[in-house]
Chain A
Amino acid sequence: MTSTPTRFAACAALSAALVLSACGTKGGGSGSSGPDAEGVRTGSGVTATDITLGVMTDKTGVFKNLGLGITQGNELWAKDINAAGGVCGRQVRLETVDHGYKADTAKTLYPQIEPKVAGFVQMLGSPVVAALKQNLLSDKAVAAPASWSSELLDNPYVMIVGTTYDVEMIDGLSYLQEKNLIADGDTIGHIYIDGEYGQNGLRGSKHYAGKHNLTVKEVKITSTDTDLTNIVTGLKGDGVKAILLTTSPPQTGSVAAVNKALGLNVPLLGNNPVFDPALLKSPAASALDKLHIVASSVPFSADLPKAKDVAAKYKAAYREPANGGVPYGYAVGEVWGTVLKKACENKDLTRDGIAKALKETTSAGTENLVAALDFSKPGAPATRQVYVAQPDPGAEGGVRYVKPLFEAAEARDYVAPHQK
């Protein structure tokens, strides 16, 4: 039996631990503090030696492979920038949490990570970013969502690196029409995950359809649906000439496999998150030849000097099969680096200072890992240029691009939902 003094000691130790941990919750120190020796004002996540950026990713949900790739890209960038001396005399550190693509989990994790970081180099998932919208606003934390919905652009602290799902769809449809795979007046299907991701892709296809008299057969699904056999059977009955996908990779695999199995064989056009190289090792592999992926970041194997450099560093550091998330994650880091350097020049590394530096960034370059980005226009996508890629088992990262960066005329005059 435990003696009373022992029990008392245990209680005292526990109480002390609780008090200490409660005091430590805001260890990163939120809010701004006075200038350092160089006259640079600092805030949350910024110390005399380090700048800490948050990574809220998906390691266990439907986008776990993409999340892993982007995180590895973030890490490679942090390693490179630190090797080059860091930013503002400080080393970049990453603080990572896994929300499993669940908004409620992300809501729980956010208060734990927010006080420790200057901003977020990755916040994966439209539902997650939507759930944390108010938090980002009230904490004035700049976040780069690994989510490309133009609906997010009403939040001045959201930094979308690349174009948005609606614009991807518009550009992609123009590509299909340019290749005579669809024609004015056709019926097309659009399978989309209900929520901001899917709705934003659908907004793009409807815009293009309106300009070209296309009939869009919409099918709403959830992120956990994986067998889409009956949907594709129905779309075949509707006589669709193409199927658009704003889905997860397993759903893409299902549609591709059934497209082939039913002898439908129409082109498939997907937003950037629809593909995962793991599909090339799935039973759907032989059915992926009809898939076109639209993205504003380069494929892993792109024949560009910077992409090759990132790919070489990736292979030296990691063993997992690479995907397009790697160059994208690196590119986001590069953009963050540009913004932090501008904030440093402005002598203000507080969150306010970082947000101000973002608005002043009119040409964040990533050596074409993504198109040049202009964050100065409120509510507008930072670029409207995309690559079109197709699965290729012979290419590292699983895709090769079939059309380099371009912008469709229909995308140029498209007005995003929060564009001023």
Chain B
Amino acid sequence: MNTFLQLVVNGLGKGAVFALLALGFVVIFKATEVVNFAHGSLVLFGGYLVVVTRESLGWVGASLVGILSAALLALAVERLLLARARSADANSLALLTIGLDVIITEEVVRRLGVTLPFLGEAWDAQPIQIGGITLFRTHLVALAVSAVLITAFFLAFRYSDWGVAMRAQAENREAAALMGIRSSRVTATAWLVAGALAGVAVLFIATQDFSGAGLSRGTHSIALAAFPAAILGGLDSTAGAVVGGLVVGLAEALSAQYISFDFSKSAVFLVMLVVLALRPSGLFGTRESTRV
């Protein structure tokens, strides 16, 4: 029983970080209908900036620089590349993000060289024991940060001008434009926010508790592993990102023990396929209705 409980705790903890990552995909998709495959490289970029500024600014300052840098890079990508191809369809832009992802990732990995720096020094490898169950501090902080950010998003989507504009744009881009909503501002803000989320997520990913490895190419792979979380939750649903993240974390942890570790890596994709077969828009995604 203890093993089962520990696995659930492990899974939920990892799920919180997957939720943060999935939220990055969702914010951009909701605003622009573009799937941002460069999210993993934004994660790496934010992490790299933490590495290079940590010595001079300290961990807190460097983390803020990392988050801000990832946000600004995302904004630059949107302003300099995507905004100039406004008439291109969403699939073409998604392909563009793949190319960008390769370029940024390879450059960061090259610059990292043989170092594999860990980034979560404020919470990493400081477990808490409660009644025979180990809670990893990285997971706990990630859960708290996710809860705060996701609540903030719910509120922002519902009550802020930007949130209302984004929802309007997601509903009907043309009608939103005719009503005076500035599409470019909504889109740019979405990229900025997604970049910041990537910068936050890397502080939990490049840790002993979460990935067992420092900042490296593996960090990028983990960021992409959150993609199934976003898909199965529903690419345009913030609630879906949270549930998707937790499902991915749990599926991975439980299948590693009760089926096999090998299988656990494909388990999340299997869950995603099952969900998509039953609900093509994901668990909480908006169903597309087409009149024929």
B261 is an interface residue with CB less than 8 A from chain A: yes
Instruction: Give per-residue flags for A246-276: 1 if the beta carbon is below 8 A from chain B beta carbons, else 0.
Output: 0000110110010001110000000000000
Judged by a CB distance under 8 angstroms, whether B288 is at the interface is no
User: What's the Cα separation between A59 and B109 when bound, in Å?
Assistant: 12
Please determine whether A261 and B136 come into contact, CB atoms closer than 8 angstroms: yes
Q: Which of B121, B208, B209 has most chain A Cβ within 10 Å?
A: B208
A220 touches B261 (CB 8 A): yes
Partner of B3, one of A220, A227, A237: A237
Please, what's the 1-or-0 string for B1-28, where 1 marks a CB less than 8 Å from any CB in chain A? 0110011001000000000000000000
The answer to whether B2 and A237 have CB atoms under 8 Å apart is yes
B213: CB under 8 A from chain A? yes
Shortest distance in angstroms between B130's beta carbon and chain A's nearest beta carbon?
A: 12
A65 and B212 alpha carbons, distance in the complex (Å): 17
* Cβ contact within 8 Å between A251 and B212: yes
Fill in one digit per residue for A284-326: 1 if any B CB lies within 8 Å of its CB, else 0.
Answer: 1011000000000000000000000000000000001000000
Task: Give chain A residues whose Cβ lies under 8 Å from the Cβ of B212.
Answer: 226-229, 250-251, 253-254, 257
A320 to B210, CA, bound (A): 28
CB distance from B3 to the nearest CB of A (A): 3
Q: Which residues 163-208 of A have a CB within 8 angstroms of B?
A: none
Residues from chain A with Cβ under 8 Å of B127 in the complex: 261
Residues of A within 8 A of B134 (CB): 261-263
Q: How far is the CA of A230 from the CA of B253 in the complex (A)?
A: 6
B125 & A284 in contact (Cβ 8 Å cutoff): yes
A278: Cβ under 8 A from any B Cβ: yes
* A68 on interface, CB distance cutoff 8 Å: yes
Q: Which residues of B contact A282 (CB under 8 A)?
A: 118, 208, 214
Chain A residue nearest to B137 in the complex (CB): A261
Nearest chain B residue, comparing its CB with the CB of A254: B212
How far, in whole Å, are A253 and B218 apart by their CA atoms in the complex? 15
Complex-state Cα separation, A230 to B264, whole angstroms: 10
CA of A401 to CA of B2, assembled, Å: 37
Contact between B10 and A233, CB atoms less than 8 A apart:
yes
Q: Which of A226, A234, A320 has the most C-beta atoms of chain B within 10 angstroms of its own C-beta?
A: A226
Interface 1/0 per residue, B46-79 and A, CB below 8 Å: 0000000000000000000000000000000000
Determine the chain B residues whose CB is within 8 A of the CB of A233 once the complex forms. Answer: 3, 6-7, 10, 257
Check A227–B125 contact: CB distance below 8 A. Answer: no
Is B218 touching A226 in the complex (CB atoms < 8 A)? yes
Number of residues on chain A facing chain B (CB within 8 A):
34
Please state if A230 and B256 are interface contacts (CB–CB under 8 Å): yes
A284 to B211, CA, bound (A): 12
B2 to chain A, nearest CB (A): 7
> Are B257's CB and A278's CB within 8 A?
no
Q: Decide: B211 and A227 in contact? CB cutoff 8 A.
A: yes
CB pair B3 A283 closer than 8 Å: no
Chain A contact surface mostly? helix
Instruction: Judge whether A372 is part of the interface by a CB distance below 8 angstroms.
Output: no
Query: Do the beta carbons of A250 and B264 come within 8 Å of each other?
Result: no
Cβ proximity bits A131-146 to B, threshold 8 Å, 1 near / 0 not: 0000000000000000
Q: Does A97 contact B (CB under 8 A)?
A: no
A280 within 8 A of partner (CB): no
Q: Which residues of B contact A234 (CB under 8 A)?
A: 3, 7, 256-257
Q: How far is the CB of B105 from chain A (nearest CB, A)?
A: 13
Task: Please measure, in the bound complex, the distance between the C-alpha atom of A263 and the C-alpha atom of B6, giving whole angstroms.
Answer: 12
A283 touches B208 (CB 8 A): yes
B residues 28-42 in Cβ contact with A at 8 Å = none
Question: How far, in Å, is B245 (CB) from chain A's closest CB?
Answer: 16
Question: Taking A250-B213, A254-B212 as contacts, is the C-beta distance between A231 and B129 under 8 angstroms?
Answer: no
Any B CB within 8 A of the CB of A64: yes
Contact across chains for B208 and A254 when beta carbons are under 8 A apart:
yes
Most buried by A among B121, B207, B209: B209
By a CB distance below 8 angstroms, the chain A residues around B210 are 227
Q: Check if A342 is an interface residue, CB within 8 A of chain B.
A: no
Is A219 part of the binding interface, using a Cβ–Cβ cutoff of 8 Å? Answer: yes
CA distance A257 to B221 in the complex (A): 22
Q: Does B124 contact A (CB under 8 A)?
A: yes
- Decide: B257 and A64 in contact? CB cutoff 8 A: no
Whether a CB of chain A sits under 8 angstroms from the CB of B101 is no
Docked pose: A225 CA to B218 CA in angstroms: 9
Across-interface contacts of A253 in B (CB, < 8 A) = 208, 212
- Of B2, B211, B261, the residue contacting A231 (CB under 8 A) is B261
Q: Is the CB of A283 within 8 A of B125?
A: yes
The CA of A394 and the CA of B273, in the complex, are separated in Å by: 51
Chain B residues within an 8 Å CB radius of A228? 212
B10 contacts across to A, CB distance below 8 A: 229-230, 233
* B252 contacts the other chain (CB 8 A): yes
Instruction: Give chain A nearest CB distance to B53 CB in angstroms.
Output: 19
For residue A261, which residues in chain B have a CB less than 8 angstroms away from its CB? 125, 127, 134, 136, 209
Q: Indicate whether A221 reaches chain B with its CB closer than 8 angstroms.
A: yes
Bound complex: CA A233 to CA B6 (Å): 7
Among A221, A231, A253, find the residue whose CB has the most chain B CB atoms closer than 10 A: A253
Contacts of B207 in A (CB 8 A): 283
B89 within 8 A of A: no
Q: How far is the CA of A287 from the CA of B125 in the complex (A)?
A: 9
Which A residues are CB-close (under 8 A) to B257?
230, 233-234, 237
With a CB–CB cut-off of 8 A, which chain B residues contact A116?
none
A351 within 8 A of B: no
Bound-state CA distance A65–B112 (Å) is 13
Q: Which residue of A lies closest to B207 (CB)?
A: A283
Contact at A250–B261, with CB atoms within 8 Å? no
A412 to chain B, nearest CB (A): 34
Chain A window 59-78, contacts with chain B (Cβ cutoff 8 Å), 1 for yes, 0 for no: 10000110010000000000
B261 touches A283 (CB 8 A): no
Residues of chain A within 8 A of B121, CB atoms compared: 283
Most buried by B among A283, A286, A320: A283
In the assembled complex, the Cα of A227 lies from the Cα of B7 at a distance in Å of 13
23 A-B pairs within 8 Å (CB atoms) are namely A64-B114, A220-B262, A221-B261, A224-B218, A224-B221, A227-B211, A229-B136, A229-B209, A230-B261, A231-B261, A234-B256, A234-B257, A237-B3, A251-B212, A254-B212, A257-B125, A261-B134, A261-B136, A278-B116, A282-B118, A283-B121, A284-B208, A320-B114
Task: Given A230-B7, A250-B213, A253-B212, output 20 extra A-B contacts at Cβ < 8 Å.
Answer: A65-B114, A68-B114, A220-B261, A227-B210, A227-B211, A228-B212, A229-B209, A230-B264, A231-B256, A234-B3, A234-B257, A237-B2, A237-B257, A250-B212, A250-B214, A261-B136, A278-B116, A282-B208, A283-B121, A283-B209
